Structure 1
């Protein structure tokens, strides 16, 4: 008789929608998922062509399960990413398990802008009926829902927003990337395996 080791609590394995922060989060919560959504609000705004191309670090792509699709998302395309996930679930013909990962700060600290943007993705998933969320995902969604009217300001006023401005990113770029659901495009860094 073989014994199976239960997943660590941090893995959130029993939930369809999981949430964590930082590149190492992919190792913690992505086991067995069908889609990884990488959420990096400020880096997207700092890119030469914000909103156009998926910006997903190589370490995240490498850590994601081989068969999992990987998306990039932020406040600007959260609803589009959620709609893509729903279509992917329909393509798979079964419940799709998801890892929503907020990039976080380079020093490992809390990144309010990324958590709000990840919360926007989770909130959009819930609106589409994908609502088996871990407590961590529910908290991120609630943070976004409670602060929905202020997210553009918070994205620029956050520590990461201020750092980006100090490094030369135009405040207007930060505000454009924080315009909720302004883009219907989906940034797919890697397609999922065939169903």
Structure 2
């Protein structure tokens, strides 16, 4: 299922161009600089990121969430106890501690998360999901899944292939190790 109805978000609008500007740039690139496959692919990844974030924003904004805050809530629901140290949240989501603190502050203000001292680490802080946070993440997840996370134009097999291809780039960059088993949210 493709993204249905209306614009794809306030930040990214459907251009409806009669040609693909990335493909056109690739043709010019080849004449000026040489092979363009890497430029085309990288530019396409950036454009698709804009499109996906705009689609996620459409779904999440009415719930008072951004995708970053939604990810925090999902991670907390994956935790056996519904709570995690802020440093673990940052590590799992691969974001800077300042970004985690900002997201947690907003989620606390919305009543989706509470903050408490970490008894295992006197200076550390735990974030715990509230009942209200669980309810909003359930509704938002249902809506994102109905949208196929913005990738409904691709069949399941192609989505799996896309993940595998992008994971190879992430492995090459040292983002993740080249291993299959993933640690739990608790790990």
Q: Which has the higher contact order (CA 8 A, sep 6+)?
A: 1
Q: TM-score of the superposition, structure 1-length normalised? A: 0.30
Q: TM-score of the superposition, structure 2-length normalised? A: 0.31
Considering only CA atoms, is the larger Rg found in Structure 1 or Structure 2?
2
